[in-house]
Amino acid sequence: MAYNVLVMGGSYFLGRIFCIFASRREDMELTLVNRGRYAMTHYPHLREYRSDRHDAAGLSRLPEQAYDAAVDFCAYAPGDISFLLDHLPGSVKRYILISTADVYRREPGVIPDEDSPVQDTPGTGSAAEYIWNKVLLERELKAECEKRGIEPVILRPAFIYGPYNYAPRESWYIRRIVQGMDIPVPTDAASRFQFVFVKDAAEAILACVSGSEAAGKIYNLAAPEVLDYAAYTEILAEVSDIPFVSRPVTVEEVLRENIPVPFPLAEEESELYRGERVTRELGIAYTPFREGMEKTWKAFKSVYA
């Protein structure tokens, strides 16, 4: 069976890796819709169309066909899903929304699984606005899919890392190492966090496209390893072939000097989630963090060198 897959976005980080892996499969035919900043036309089994997702005329030029799945990497504001479905030629059987694990309500001592409650009120600031919009988009997806007879699937990743990551997280560290700068390590930061390697996230999406058991499900994407700043820096030192100096700093110094460390600092901001369901139901095996970081180091080192 060949799967016709509509991909919204898909030329940056996770979307790009997904398209690379999916285009290698003989049973996948991709229709990629993005604004064309990074061309993907050289990949097999992939047709690329340049259009903003809010451009009704641009969407109308897409081929009218039955899509087995739509994978949405770039829904960020309420109305994005309904607008796409209103103006998309053809039909969609399954709609896979890339959300975020940050939608969960924070409760002390609770590590949320897919059945845990999500936030029910908006916060303040740009990060809170992003999260609240994802909450609203998840609601919108469920309503639109119920109305149109589409199977909804929601993926909630923790911190995604790996090659092509445009967020200044692991690349922030690798750039500093390659350029001979020290690595600040907040010694009194109490936060802990989890990650998912971008390849694992892409494979989870592929499994949601083809697996009947994924219909109507929500999956966290979070590898079981729990890290803090010290453990993260230790692994970074293990995979780096360039020695670097770790500079101990306090949380107070980080805030006072505006050091752009990329992960939470306070214990109540810890990013911990239960991500076993995607392994249990879809067979996704998480890449050990050291292995994933070694590949990430090699990819970004060549960029900054």
Angle at which helix 170-178 crosses helix 289-304, to 10 degrees, equals: 50
| Residue 199 predicted with pLDDT over 90 | yes
Among 36-45, 53-62, 124-133, the least confident range: 36-45
Q: Among candidates 151, 103, 146, which has minimal Cα distance to 127?
A: 103
Kindly report the number of other CB atoms within 10 A of residue 250's CB atom: 13
The set of residues, in sequence order, having a beta carbon less than 8 Å from that of 151 and lying 6+ positions away, is 93, 94, 95, 145, 215, 216
Beta strand 246-249 with 65-67: parallel, antiparallel or unpaired? unpaired
pLDDT in tens, 254-298: 999 999 999 999 999 999 999 999 999 999 999 999 999 999 999
So what's the pLDDT on residue 43? 87
pLDDT in tens, 71-123: 999 999 999 999 999 999 999 999 999 999 999 999 988 999 999 999 999 98
**Burial class, 243, CB count within 10 angstroms (exposed 0-12 / middle 13-18 / buried 19+):** exposed
DSSP string, 134-153: HHHHHHHHHHHHHHHT-EEE
The rounded mean pLDDT for the chain is 96
Locate 82 and state its tokens.
């309904």
Average pLDDT over residues 210-239: 97
Alpha-carbon distance of 200 to 202, in angstroms, equals: 5
So what's the pLDDT on residue 20? 95
Q: Among candidates 192, 194, 196, 195, which has minimal Cα distance to 268?
A: 192
State how far the alpha carbon of 285 is from the alpha carbons of 106, 109, 169, 276, 277, in Å.
27, 26, 23, 10, 11
Residue type, 260: P
Structural domains of the chain ordered from first start: 3-163+195-223+273-286 (3.40.50.720)
Q: At 28, give phi and psi (nearest 5°).
A: -120, 130
Alpha-carbon distance of 184 to 28, in angstroms, equals: 44
- Which residues does residue 32 pair with via DSSP β-bridges, in sequence order? 7, 48
Q: At 275, give phi and psi (nearest 5°).
A: -120, 25
Element (H, E) at 230: helix 229-239
Residue 56: pLDDT band (50, 70, 90) is very high
The set of residues, in sequence order, having a beta carbon less than 8 Å from that of 172 and lying 6+ positions away, is 260, 262
What's the per-residue H, E or C state across 6-34? EEECCCCCHHHHHHHHHHCCCCEEEEEEE
Alpha-carbon distance of 103 to 14, in angstroms, equals: 19
Alpha-carbon distance of 2 to 23, in angstroms, equals: 12
pTM score: 0.96
Cβ atoms of 6 and 67 within 8 Å: the answer is yes
Residue 40: pLDDT band (50, 70, 90) is confident
